[in-house]
Structure 1
Amino acid sequence: MYTVGQRYLSQLDPQLGLGIVVETQARRVTVAFPAVDEERTYATANAPLSRLLFRIGDKVRLADNQVYAVIKVTETAGVAVYTVSTTEGHEIEVSEVALAAELELNQPQQRLLTGQIDSATLFETRYKAVQHLHQLDQTEVRGLLAPRTLLLPHQVYLAQQVGTRHAPRVMLADEVGLGKTIEAGMIIHQQLHTHRAKRVLVLTPEPLMAQWLVELRRKFNLRFDLLNQERMDTDDNPFEEAQWVISCLDLVAKQERLSEQMVSEVWDLVVIDEAHQLEHADPVLKQCVNLLCARARGLLLLTATPEQLGQEAHFERLHLLDPQRFASFSDYQTSEAQYQRIDQAIQSIEAGTGADLPFPVHGSSTDAQVRYLLDFYGTGRCLYRNTRASVAGLPARALHPHPLESAPNGTAADDLMQQLYPERYETDDNWVQAHPKVTWLVQFLKANKAEKVLVICGNASVATALEDYLHMRAGIRSAAFYEGLSLVERDRAAAYFQESEHGAQVLVCSEIGSEGRNFQFSQHLVLFDLPLSPDLLEQRIGRLDRIGQKQTIHIHVPFVLKSAQERLFKWYAQGLEVFTEHCAGAQRLYDQYAEELRDYCLEQNNSTDFIERVAAATSQLKASLDAGRNRLLERHSLDSTKATQYIEQIKAWDDSTTLREWLELASNALDLDIDPLDRDTWIFKANEHTHEALIPFFQDDAITGTFSREIAASREDWEFLTWEHPLVTETLELFETDTLGSGALSRLRLPNLPEGTLLLEAVAVVRVLGQSRMDLKRFLPRTPIRLLIDAQGRNLADALPPEKLHPRLENLPAKAAGNAIKQLREPLLELISKTEQHAQTLAQTFINKAQEAFTDHIDAEIERTTLLSLAQADEHRNNELATLKQERDTGYAALAQSQVSIHALRLIATHH
C-alpha cells in the first residue's frame, strides 16, 4: 500500500533517481522525481516501482549530502524512520522523506531488493572479473606483464627484486648497452601498478627527455608529463600539476623558485638518469639534488659508469641512496677491500668446507648464509651491476684501425690536447678539405653506401663542420647531432638517420651522442677522435653495442701515424684492450697511469715497456675483479634460476587463452566491437552503445592490438595486449567498482524440488582496505567466495558449481522480474541475511592465513635487519628495525580489519 512520503525507484527508468509518493488515490499513485523535476502517475495494480528501504549497517545520504550509517529502522504511519550515527557519535532520527533524490545504489542487496535487475551474462561476467583479479593479485610477476620488452633474465630479475620493495633506493649500474632505461621503466611500472608509488619524477639530461617520454609511453603505457623550458615559464608550480613527471635538472636549476618547488613536492620515486654527471654540477644544483634525494621515498640512480670519476665520486652517489650506511669514505674503502675474502668464503660455504672470516656469518642453510654475506658486505642491496660477460646475446666487436700517413700541421709538442685534437684549434674554416681523417672518411662512406655509419667526435664545432662538408661538398646524405640543437631538431636528426630507404647514411655526433641514444640498427662506428676517459669511450661504443643489436659491431679508428693519436690508440687497443671487449676496471687504470699516459703520448716518457706494463696491470685487474668484486656483484645482480622462473611465469600469462576469452566476454557486455585480423591480432572499435568509461581509449576510430610479445616488439604502433594493459584493467575495474551485473534474477527447471523454491547465488569478495603502499594484496588477494544458499541456510555451492548450474538457468523479462521481487521481498531478506553470515565465517579463514603469511614475511625482514644492526652497530639499522616493527603492527591491523562484501547476487526460483 502506497503512503505519501515513501521513497520508490522506477524499475524501467532508474535514471529518474529516487522518487517520493506525493499523492495516492484508489487506483493510482503519483510519484515526484526531484532529481529530474518530473511527476509520474501509475496504476497501483502494476506500477513498475520498487520501494527503497535501508537496513542496519547501510549508509544513507540526505538531501544536504551528509552521509550517515543506519543503526536502527522503525516506521511511523507507513514512512520509514532511520536512526543514524553522526561523525560526532550522536544518534539522530531521519525520515526517509529527507533522503537525497540523486541516489546511486551500489550495494547488490539494494539493487536486487529494488528490482534493479541485470542479465545473467552480466552477472557471470562480473564473477569472472573478480576471479581474474584474484589470480592477478597473487602472481609473483605482478607489474611485469605489461612492458613491451624482451624477456631478458638480467632485466626481469632486477626489476622483480627492486620493484617489489617498499620505497626502493638503488643504483642501476649495468654496463653500457644492457638496458638500464628498460630496467628503470619496469621498476616504475611495477611500483605504480602495485600502488607502492603514486608520484614519480624522472630527471634526465635535456637531450634524453623526449626519448624517456616515448619509451615510457610505447613500452610501458605510462603517460608522463614533460616539463620542458616552455612548461616551466609560468607563475604556477608545474611540479604539482602532474603525478608523473619528466624534467631536467639543468633546466630546474636556472630558477631558484623551480628548485624549491620541485624539492617541496612529495615524490614516491625519483629517477636520476646519467647520475655520474652530478659530479660536474655546480654547488647550488648539488644542494638541490641532496635535498631532493633525502626527501624522496624511493630513489633510482642510473649510470653505466659508476666509477668514471673515481671511487670517491662513486661513494658520494651511494651516500645519496643511503646516507647512514655510506657515511664514511674510509669505511667504504675498507669494505671494498674485503670483496675477495667474502667471495672465497661464499665458495667455501657452497663447497661445504666452512668459511674462515673474522666476522660472523648468520643463517642455518647454505642459501641463507650466502644471502647474508651478499646483503651485508660491500654495497649490499644498494647497487646492481650486470656485466656483458654475464649476459648472453650481445654482439661481437671487430676493430678496424686506419693509420694515416700525413700529419696535421700546427701541433704543439707540449700540448697533449692540441696533438690529440688539432681540428678543435683550427681557425681556418676550410680545415676539413685537407684533413687526412676527413679524406679517409669520405672514401670509406662512398665505398660503403649501403651501410649506416655513426661518427662520434668530442667537439660540437668539429661535428658541425664535418657534417656540413659531407653533405654540401661530398654529396653524402648526412645529419648532425650536437648540443646546439633543440630537442625537436635532435629527434629529427635521429629519425632521419634511422629511416631505412631515404634516410641519412651517416649521423655525425658530438660527445652528447655517446650517452642515452641508441642506434643499434647501425653496425659501423667511426671514432673520429678518441676521448681520454675509458668510460666515455665505452659509452660511445655502447650506442651500437647493446641489447637488440643483431650483427657484429665494426669499430673504425682513424689516426695519424707517429703521433699522440697513434699512441693513445695503442693505449686502448694493446694496453686496456677495450675495443674488442669491455674492461670494467679501465677507468681505474686510467686514474693510476694518467701522468705516465700523458708523457707517453707526448713522447716524454722514455720507458719502452709502458704499454706492456699497462697490459699486465689490465690482466691482473681483470683477474682480481673476476675473483672478487665483480663476482659478488654478479651473484647479487642476477640469480639465473629465479630469473628463469619469473620468465616462465610471464610466458605462461602471455600464452594463456584466458585473456582472449575475457576480452570477448567483456566486449559483449560493454558493447565493444572486435574484428580479429588473426589469432594474435584484434581490432577493437567503439560504437554509440560502448560503455562511457572505455571511450577515452578510442581517440582514433579503432585500436589494433596484438597478444604476441614478438609482434609487439616489431609493431610499436599496435597495442600490446596483456592483463596489465590499461584497456584490459579498465574492463576489470568496471566490473569490480561499477554496478554492472551486481543483481540478477533467474529461473531453474528442477522437478525434484517444490515449485517456487528459492536459492540465492552470491559472490562475496574479501578485501584488505588501505595501506596501499604496503601492497598487502600479496598476502590477501581480492578473494571471491561463491555461495548458493537455500531457505534452510544451507550452502549448496559445491553441489551446484557454476559449470553445472549456469547453463541451466533461464532469464526473466525485466517487468516480470520486478514484480517477482516485490512478492518475494521478505524471503529474499532472509536469504540475504543468511548469505552474509556464511560469507563472514568463510572470509575469516582467508584473513587468518593472510595474517600468518604477512607475519612470516615481515619477521624474516626484521630478523635480517636485526642481524645487520648487530654486526654493523649502526644506529640507522636500529631506526630501520623500529620502522619494520611499526609496519608489522600496521599491516597486521590492516589485515585484521579486512572486509568481506557482497559483490553480486542472483535470486533463483525453481519451476517444473
Structure 2
Amino acid sequence: MSFSLGQRWISDAESDLGLGTVVAVEGRMVSVLFPATGDNRMFAREDAPLTRVIFNQGDTITSHEGWTLEVDAIHEQDGLVSYEGVRSDTNEVGLLRETMLDHQIRFNKPQDRLFAGQIDRMEYFVTRYLCQRQRFGMLKNPLRALQGPRAGLIPHQLFIANEVGNRHAPRVLLADEVGLGKTIEAGHIIHQQLLSGKAERILILVPETLQHQWLVEMLRRFNLRFSLFDEERCIEALADCDNPFETEQLVICSLDLLRKKKRLDQAKDAPWDLLVVDEAHHLEWSESAPSRAYQVVETLAQEIAGVLLLTATPDQLGHQSHFARLRLLDPDRFYDYDAFLEEETSYQQVATAADALLAQRPLTDAEQQALVALLSESDISDALGRIQSGDEAQRQLACQELVRELLDRHGTSRVLFRNTRSGVSGFCGRELHTYPMPLPKQYATAMRVNSMLGGTQSTDIKLMNQLYPEKLYQEFEGESGNASWWQFDPRVDWMMEFLKANRSKKVLVIASKAHTALQLEEALRTREGILASVFHEGMSILERDKAAAFFAQQEGGAQVLICSEIGSEGRNFQFAHHLVMFDLPLNPDLLEQRIGRLDRIGQTQTVQIHVPLLEGTAQQPLLRWYHEGMNAFTHTCPSGHLIHSEFADQVRSELAGETEAGALEQLIEATAARNAEHQAKAEAGRDKLLELNSNGGQQAAQLVTALEQADDDTDFISFMLKLWDVIGVSQEDKGENAVVLKPTEHMLFPSYPGLSEEGASVTFDRDTALSREDFQFLTSAHPLVASGIDLVTSGDTGSTSVALLKNKALPAGTLFLEMIFKVEAIAPSEVQIGRFLPPTPVRVLMDKSGKDLAPNVTFDSFNRQLMPVNRHTASKLVNASQPVLHPLLKQGDDYAQAQMSELVAQAQSDMEQQLGAELTRLEALKAVNPNIRSSELDAVREQISMVTAHLQRAQLDLDAVRMIVVTPE
C-alpha cells in the first residue's frame, strides 16, 4: 500500500471516525489523524485496515469550510488528488485538494460505501435482505398480533380479540364465565392495539390483590412491560413530572388509589388511549346513589376513547348494575333502564330466527317472513333462495351470511361479549374424592386446652382453629418447635401413600398457609424422598417461575407442586390432572380459583379433586356445604359469591360449633334451594343471540386454522437461527424444543436489546411455551425478533458486498449488479400504513447491458451459486469496474422507481377496498343498530384520507448493493 502525507483514508474497522489524514510515514508504520474525533491511529503499512478515498466524476463533495463542489475532473500529483468543478458558493470553477475535504464525511449510502472500499461479508448482505423480507412479511400479516402471545389457540378468545382489537377505540364489556379467559382476551386486545398503533398509552385498573397477577400476565404472556403505580410510586414520580401518570406509557394501579381526588384528577388529565377495568361487577350503581368506584370509572371513561370492562358475573349486583356498566361504555346509547329492558324483550325473536338458520335446513314460510321483517333494510331474497335450494354448500353459506347480518344489526353484540361453559367445548369435567380420617389426639388436646385457656373466643377464631388445627398445634409448640405435626397428621400419611401410588402423575397440592406448604415439602422430602417444589407469597417472581418450571418439567422435574393460597391465583397447570386440597378455603370463590388452576380450556383429562379431611372438625361441614349445597366441586358455581354473602354468618356459626343439632342440614337445604334459584334465573336470562356472536362460530375456527399453519412455519425458525449466527449470539440446544441464547464478546453489535447478559431460554413451540413459563415464546411478534432485525437493518451492516459466480456458460469477467431498494411511506403509527405499504424490499439484478434479470432469477437460487471474496480483492474489482457500475446504478434506480409506482397504486387499491368496505358496512349498520358510534365511522374516514396522503409521499431508497463477477471454474 502506497501512502503520502496529506492523503485521505478511512478506517475499515472504525468508519465512525470519519475521514483520516496521513500525518506520518516512517519505516514500516503509517500514522493517520482523524480530525473529526481527534483520534490518532498507527498502522503497519503492509496490512493496514484502511481504504483510500478517491471520489469520481459526478460526485458532490464538501470542503471543510462547508461549500460543495460537483466533480468534473480529477488531477493527481505527488500521490495527492485535487478535484476540479463548480463551487456552490461562487458558481465558479475551482479546485478542492483532498487535504481540504470535510473531516466529517461518512459513507452511508451503499454505493458510496462500495466505491470507498467499505465492503461487507457476503453473509451480512444476504442476512440484511432476508431481514427486509421478513419484516415485510411480519407487517403484512394480519394475524401477527394474535399469533404472538403465549396463549392457547382458543376459538372464542381469538374471535373476540380479533373482532375488538381491530376496532378504533373499542368500548366493550368482556363477560365470559370463570375459566374462559377474559384476562387473555383483554391482553390480546391490548397487544393488538399497541402493535397496530391504535393505542400507545394504556391504564389498567384492578383490585389491589390482582395488581401483581396482571403485571406478570402482561409480561409473561404478551411481552408487555407495565409499571405498577401506588401512592409511593406517585410521590417518587413527582421528581420527574408534575403528573406522575405521564411518566409511563403502560400503567397498572388499584381502583382504591384513584378514590383520592388528587390522584383521580391526575389520571384523568393524562392522555390515555385505552382504559381497562377488571372485576367490573364491583362497580355498584343506582341512579340516585352511584358508588365511589363507579364514579371514578365513569369520570375516566368520559375522557378516554377506548374502554374495556371485565367481569365474569355481569348480573352479580343485579340487572340494573349490568345496565349501568353498559352505560359507562356508551351513555348516549344506554340512557334509560326501562328502555333497555323493553329493547331486550325483542331479542328473543331474533334468537329464534338465528336458531332456524343455524339448523341449516330449508325454512318454513313463517321463518322466512320473520327474517324478511327483521332484515327489512336489506334485500335477502337471493340468500333465502339459496337456502331453499337443494345445494348444501350454497345453503350453508347463505345461512352463515344471514346469521352474521342478524348479529350485526340486533342486540348488544357490538358492546358485550359473553361465553359460558355450556356453550364452549374444551372442558373435561371434575370428580371429587373425599378421605375422612380420625382426628389425632394431639390436635384434640390442643383444641380442648385452647378452649379452656382462651376464655371467650370470637366466632372467627373458633372456626379458624377448627379448620386449621395444625396451625393451632404449632402455636403450642412455639418458635423452638420442630413442626412435629406432620409426623402424626393422617393427612400427611395419606398424601405420601397417594403420591407413591401415582409416581408418574403430576400432582398440585394447595394449602391455605405458606408455612404449611413449606413444612409439607419438608415432610415429603425427609420421609419419602419425594421430589416436590414449593410456591408461596414469600418468594420472588423469579423464584416462583423456577418452582413452576420445575413442576412443569416432564423428565427430572418435580412430581408435586405445593402451593399456598397464592398458588390458586394467576398460574395455570392444566398439564396436571390431580388436585389435592390439604385444607379448604372459607370462600367459594377461592375454592373455584383452586380448581380453576387445572380445570381450564386445554385440560385433556377429568380433573381429580382429592380432599383429605379430619373428622370432628369444621372441615366436614364446610365440605358438605360446598358439595351438597352448591355442587361447587364438580361444577362451577357462578352464584357462589352471592350465596356466600347471603349465608356467611350462618356458615361461620356452624363451623365454629355454635349452632343447634340439625342446623347444618337446614343450611345445606336452604343453600341448595337458593343455588337452584340463581341458576334458573341465570338460564332464563341467557341471551342466545349474545352467545352466538361471542363464540365466533366458523370465523373463530378459521382463525385457529390460520394460526396453526403460522405456528408450523419452519422458514421463520431457520431465519432466526441464521440471524443469531450472523449477529454472534450463542445458541445452545437445551432439548425440550428450547434453545438457550446468550450474548458473546464477538457479537457484531455492543448489545442485543431484550437479551440480558444472563441470556434467555426460548422456544418456537406453543405447547412447550404453555407448559414451561421460564421459556420465552418466539414468534414474529416477539421483541427479540424485531430488535434483531433492527440491529442489522438500521445501520450499514450488509449494505455492500462483492461475490464471485462460477459459471461455465458465461464469459469470465461478466459483471452483474444486484440492488436492494426499500419502498417506504413514513406515517404516524395510528395511520397503520403498514397494513397497506410496509417497508417493502424491491430487488433489481442488472447485467452489464442494463437488463433487469430479477423477474426470472430468484434471490435464493442465485445466491446459492455465489462465493465470497476477501475485501482487498473485492475493492480492486470495484475500482476496476466503476465506469460500468455508475450507469447501471442509474438504470437500476429507474427500474425500481417503476416498481414503486406499481406498489403504491396496489396499496391504494387495497386500502380503498378494505377500508371502503369497512366504512360501507358500518354506515349500513348504523342505520339499524345504534351500537355503531359516529366516532368509529369518522375514524375510518380519517384513516382513508391519511393513508392516501402518505402513500403519495412514499420514498425509494437504495438499501444494499452487491457486485457479482463471473470467474473461471
Q: Report the TM-score range of the alignment, normalised by the length of the smaller protein.
A: 0.7 to 0.9
Q: Is the 8 A contact 1:673 1:687 kept in 2?
A: yes
Distance 2:138 2:84 in 1: 47
Letter in 2 for 1:251: L
Q: Secondary structure at the match of 1:581?
A: coil
Larger CA deviation: 100-109 vs 128-137: 100-109
Residue 635 of structure 2 aligns with an amino acid whose one-letter code is E
Counterpart of 2:900 in structure 1: which amino acid? A
8 Å Cα contact 1:544/1:553 also seen in 2: no
Q: Does 1:773 align with 2:779?
A: no
Match of 2:600 among 531, 540, 546: 546
Q: Find the partner of 1:244 among 226, 240, 250.
A: 250
Structure 2: runs of 5 or more not aligned: 74-81, 384-397, 438-453, 473-488, 500-506, 522-526, 528-535, 552-556, 652-658
Q: Is the 8 A contact 1:224 1:245 kept in 2?
A: yes
Q: Which of 335, 338, 344 pairs up with 2:346? A: 338
Residues 406-485 of structure 1: matches in 2 within 5 Å?
A: 426-427=457-458, 431-432=462-463
Aligned length: 846
* Contact in 2 for aligned 1:438/1:466 (Cα 8 Å): no
SS at 1:661 equivalent: helix
Quick one: distance in 2 between partners of 1:664 and 1:32? 40
Post-superposition CA distance 1:852-891 (Å, at most 9, x none): 22212212222222123222578x7444333322222112
Q: Equivalent pairs: percent with the same residue?
A: 33
Match of residue 17 from structure 1: 18
Corresponding residue for residue 151 of structure 1: 153
Match of 2:945 among 864, 886, 889: 889
Taking a change above 3 Å as real, the CA distance of residues 843 and 620 of structure 1, as seen in their structure-2 partners, is same
1:301 aligns with 2:306: no
Note closer, same or farther for the CA distance 1:713–1:513 as it changes in structure 2 (3 Å cut): closer
Asked whether the 8 Å contact 1:385–1:637 carries over to 2, the reply is yes
Could you say which residue in structure 1 is the equivalent of 2:375?
360
Task: For residue 213 of structure 1, report the CA deviation from its aligned partner.
Answer: 2.3
Using the TM superposition, give the Cα deviation of residue 739 of structure 1 relative to its aligned residue in structure 2, in angstroms.
1.6
Shift of 1:285: 4.9
Separation (CA, whole Å) in 2 of partners of 1:325 and 1:740 = 56
Secondary structure of the 2:204 match is strand
Change (3 A) 1:769 1:439: closer
Note if contact 1:210-1:487 (Cα within 8 Å) is conserved in structure 2: no
Quote the Cα distance in structure 1 between the aligned partners of 2:128 and 2:834: 20
CA shift digits 1:241-287 (9 cap, x unpaired): 33332222213434x44333322222233322222223389855544
Q: Which residue in the other structure is 2:266 paired with?
A: 261
In the aligned structure 2, how far is the partner of 1:54 from the partner of 1:641? 65
Q: Is the 2:754–2:787 Cα contact (8 Å) retained in structure 1?
A: no
How far, CA to CA, are the matches of 1:559 and 1:381 in structure 2?
Answer: 51
Contact conserved, 2:818 with 2:843, CA < 8 A, in 1?
A: yes
Structure 2: how far apart are the matches of 1:620 and 1:738? 65
The question of whether the paired residues in 2 share the 8 Å contact of 1:746 and 1:811 is answered with yes
1:37 equivalent in structure 2: 38
**SS of residue paired to 1:780:** coil
**Matched ranges for 1:698-847 at <5 A:** 698-750=755-807, 755-847=812-904
Give the superposition deviation at 1:175.
0.8
Shift of 1:906: 0.8
Provide the residue aligned with 2:732 in structure 1. Answer: 675
Distance 1:752 1:519 in 2: 63
CA distance in 1, matches of 2:541, 2:845: 64
Which amino acid in 1 is paired with 2:134? H
Change (3 A) 1:225 1:172: same
Give the match's secondary structure for 1:125.
helix
Partner of 1:291: 299
1:380 matched to 2:413:
yes
Question: Which residue number in structure 2 is paired with residue 898 of structure 1?
Answer: 954
- Is residue 954 of structure 2 the alignment partner of residue 907 of structure 1? no
Distance in 2 of aligned mates of 1:97 and 1:171: 70
**Aligned counterparts of 1:587 and 1:54: Cα–Cα separation in 2:** 83
SS in 2 for 1:144: helix
Q: Following TM superposition, by how much is the alpha carbon of 1:496 offset from its aligned partner in structure 2, in angstroms? A: 9.6
Amino acid at match of 2:324: E
Name which of structure 1's ranges 725-734 and 735-744 shifts more when overlaid on structure 2: 725-734
Contact 2:227–2:248, Cα closer than 8 Å, also in 1: yes
* Alpha-carbon contact 1:865-1:877 (below 8 Å) kept: no
* Matched letter for residue 546 of structure 1: R
1:273 maps to 2:278: yes
1:161-206 residue CA offsets vs partner (Å, 9 max, x unmatched): 3333333332222111122222223333333333333333332222
Tell me, in whole angstroms, the C-alpha distance in 2 between the residues paired with 1:275 and 1:773. 28
Counterpart-to-counterpart distance in 1, 2:561 and 2:135: 50
What is the aligned partner in structure 1 of residue 211 from structure 2? 209
Residue 426 of structure 1: CA displacement? 5.0
The one-letter code matched in structure 2 to 1:802 is F
Amino acid in the other structure paired with 1:384: F
Tell me by how many angstroms 1:444 deviates. Answer: 6.7
3-state DSSP class of the match of 1:279?
coil
Q: State the match for 2:53 in structure 1.
A: 50
**Secondary structure at the residue paired with 2:841?**
strand
- Give yes or no for the alignment of 1:581 onto 2:649: no
CA–CA separation in structure 2 for the residues paired with 1:384 and 1:40? 68
Cα distance in 1 between the residues matched to 2:924 and 2:83: 69
Partner of 1:459: none
Distance 1:745 1:465, change over 3 A: closer
Q: Is the 8 A contact 1:23 1:29 kept in 2?
A: yes
Partner of 2:117: 115
CA contact (8 A) 2:144 2:780 kept: no
What does residue 523 of structure 1 align with?
579
Secondary structure class of the residue paired with 2:745: coil
Q: Does the 8 Å contact 1:525/1:541 carry over to 2?
A: no
Q: Distance in 2 between matches of 1:611 and 1:430?
A: 24
Counting only pairs closer than 5 Å after superposition, residues 227-242 of structure 1 correspond to structure 2 as 227-234=229-236, 235-236=238-239, 237=241, 238-242=244-248
- Identify which of 922, 936, 940 aligns with 1:880: 936
In 2: Cα distance, 1:262 partner to 1:313 partner: 25
Please give the root-mean-square deviation of Cα atoms over the aligned residues, in Å.
5.6
**8 Å contact 1:131–1:783 — kept in the other structure?**
yes
2:689 equivalent in structure 1: 632
Q: Taking structure 1 as reference, are residues 278 and 494 closer, same or farther at Cα in structure 2, changes over 3 Å only?
A: farther
- C-alpha distance in 1 between matches for 2:137 and 2:110: 23
Deviation at 1:310, TM superposition (A): 1.5
Amino acid at match of 1:360: L
Query: 2:819 is paired with a residue of what secondary structure?
Result: strand
Distance 1:683 1:611, change over 3 A: closer
Displacement after TM superposition at 1:741 (Å): 0.9
Task: After TM superposition, give the deviation of residue 795 of structure 1 in Å.
Answer: 0.7
2:271 is paired with a residue whose SS is coil
For 2:643 and 2:374, the matched residues in 1 are separated by 31
Distance, in Å, in 2 between the alignment partners of 1:94 and 1:636 is: 77
Q: Which amino acid aligns with 1:318?
A: L
**Distance across 1 between alignment mates of 2:676 and 2:184:** 36
- State the AA in 1 paired with 2:52: L
Q: Does the aligned pair in 1 maintain the 2:815–2:848 contact within 8 Å?
A: yes
The 1:130–1:505 alpha-carbon spacing in structure 2 relative to 1, beyond 3 Å, is closer
Q: Secondary structure at the match of 1:151?
A: coil
Whole-angstrom CA distance in 2 between matches of 1:672 and 1:491: 24
| Residue 161 to residue 614, structure 1, CA distance change in 2 (3 Å) | same
Cα-to-partner distance string for 1:300-344 (whole Å, 9 max, x where unaligned): 222211221122222222233333333333333233222221111
